[in-house]
């Protein structure tokens, strides 16, 4: 369960980690009132569970209450990678002297925990890892002894962080342990001109198995595509491409993503309808994918086993009928194989929906979807 930035910072405050002064607003008028109370230059930050807010215009400076109200009006309702900004965080602007990166996470590959700290923050950590891997200090953390003051000082020193950052690193580890987190990340962690170390941003992912201990955080759904899919019981992950992908079984969906990429296109999502999906599940899945404005075409790749292909076909027909004009504008490429595949193909043929194209092979279907997404 990913938290919003403001929720992550609430956890940080609870554990004594310095964060900028601020509060959450749901309307421009609330943003104005918060800015007036802060009595300082302001930054307005869209609250969405995805990256790239700055590039999308979701983080805006404001000189005072009036400007904060206007900027909040611009950000509220903004769509950022399929996530709707329904709240903004109104904070006192912080001028950093230096920027760092710090994260603690569950390392599934090693069956333990990992600390990652860098003297270079404020950039995409994946880009830094590729361009200058030596700039990131990685330290496996013993789950028994954890991160004490000595380990925190070592991490800070090795990464070139100031001495006072060690206490913040130790407290970030406490957040991971005490709050059932899988990831605690701050980018950037900054040192201000008066030598304070402040968490300027925050990303926290909680373990879904501990959701019963975090009901307050879980009760604030975003209303984005991933949250809507979760509410329907669908395994959906938003990606950055233009070809929507639906399949049954994680392995088949992953293979389909690779084949789409091999055909020269980028997948827009991962959506696994599961091994025993009904027509209703298929319809819900197609509705979610076609609700993404980035999707230019959809590839449905199903191998019928427990999930019968005729049920998938019924779901496609039902979803397109419900979507009406929204379902007509983008092509849906369908590849059915396995249990009741012939019946499923016949159902789609008889429906004669103008958006549906049937292709017999996975490679051929991926190539067709990629070509249609490109407008060819």
- Annotated catalytic residues are 101, 185
CB 85 within 8 A of CB 114: no
277: nearest Cα among 301, 259, 293, 299: 301
The reply to whether 98 sits in an annotated binding site is no
The reply to whether 306 sits in an annotated binding site is yes
The reply to whether 16 sits in an annotated binding site is no
What are the CA-CA distances from residue 331 to residues 71, 88, 174, 299, 326 (Å)? 37, 36, 49, 9, 11
Strand 197-199 and strand 181-192: pairing?
antiparallel
How far apart, in whole angstroms, are the C-alpha atoms of residue 320 and residue 215?
Answer: 36
How far apart, in whole angstroms, are the C-alpha atoms of residue 189 and residue 152?
Answer: 15
How far apart, in whole angstroms, are the C-alpha atoms of residue 189 and residue 128?
Answer: 15
Token representation of residue 302:
């199903």
Helix, coil or strand: residue 93: coil
The reply to whether 91 sits in an annotated binding site is yes
Token representation of residue 153:
């000082």
The reply to whether 342 sits in an annotated binding site is no
Helices 149-159 and 165-178: angle between axes, nearest 10 degrees: 120
Q: What is the largest CA-CA distance in the chain?
A: 72
How far apart, in whole angstroms, are the C-alpha atoms of residue 84 and residue 375?
Answer: 27
Q: How many other C-beta atoms lie within 10 A of the C-beta of residue 39?
A: 11
CB 87 within 8 A of CB 4: yes
The reply to whether 45 sits in an annotated binding site is yes
The reply to whether 153 sits in an annotated binding site is no
198-225 exposure pattern, b = at least 16 Cβ within 10 A, e = fewer: bbbbbbbbbeeeeeeebeebeeeebebb
Strand 112-118 and strand 96-107: pairing?
antiparallel
Backbone angles phi, psi at 213, to 5 degrees: -95, 0
Specify binding-site residues for Mg(2+). Answer: 187, 201
Q: Which residues are annotated as a binding site?
A: 45, 52-54, 91, 94, 99, 187, 201, 248, 305-307
Residues forming the annotated binding site for substrate?
248, 305-307
Residues at the binding site for ATP are 45, 52-54, 91, 94, 99
């Amino acid at each position: 369960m990913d938290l919003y930035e403001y929720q992550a910072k609430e956890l940080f405050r609870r554990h004594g980690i310095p964060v900028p002064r601020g509060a959450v607003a749901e309307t421009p008028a609330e943003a104005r009132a918060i800015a007036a109370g802060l009595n300082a230059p302001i930054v307005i930050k869209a609250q969405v569970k995805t990256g790239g807010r700055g590039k999308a215009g979701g983080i805006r400076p404001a000189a005072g209450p009036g400007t904060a109200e206007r900027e909040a009006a611009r950000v509220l309702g903004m769509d950022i990678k399929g996530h709707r900004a329904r709240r903004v965080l109104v904070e006192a602007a912080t001028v950093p002297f230096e920027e760092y990166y710090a994260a603690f996470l569950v390392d599934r590959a090693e069956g333990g925990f990992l600390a990652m700290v860098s003297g270079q923050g404020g950039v995409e950590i994946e880009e830094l890892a590729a361009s200058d891997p030596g700039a990131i200090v990685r330290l496996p953390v013993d789950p028994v002894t954890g991160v004490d003051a000595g380990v925190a000082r070592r991490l800070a020193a090795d990464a070139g962080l100031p001495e006072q950052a060690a206490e913040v690193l130790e407290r970030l580890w406490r957040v991971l342990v005490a709050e059932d987190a899988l990831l605690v990340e701050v980018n950037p962690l900054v040192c201000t001109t008066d030598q304070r170390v402040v968490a300027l941003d925050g990303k926290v992912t909680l373990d879904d198995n501990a959701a019963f201990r975090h009901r307050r955080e879980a009760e604030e759904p975003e209303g984005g595509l991933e949250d809507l899919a979760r509410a329907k019981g669908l395994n959906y992950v938003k990606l950055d491409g233009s070809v929507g992908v639906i399949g049954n079984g994680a392995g088949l969906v992953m293979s389909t993503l690779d084949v789409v990429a091999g055909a020269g296109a980028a997948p827009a999502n991962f959506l696994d309808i599961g091994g025993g999906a009904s027509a209703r599940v298929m319809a819900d899945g197609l509705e979610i994918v076609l609700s993404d404005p980035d999707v230019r075409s959809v590839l449905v790749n199903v191998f019928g086993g427990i999930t019968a292909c005729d049920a998938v076909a019924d779901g496609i027909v039902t979803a397109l009928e419900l979507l009406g004009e929204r379902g007509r504008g983008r092509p849906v490429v369908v590849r059915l194989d396995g249990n009741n595949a012939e019946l499923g193909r016949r159902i789609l043929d008889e429906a004669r929906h103008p958006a549906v194209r049937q292709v017999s092979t996975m490679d051929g279907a991926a190539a067709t979807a990629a070509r249609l997404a490109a407008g060819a």
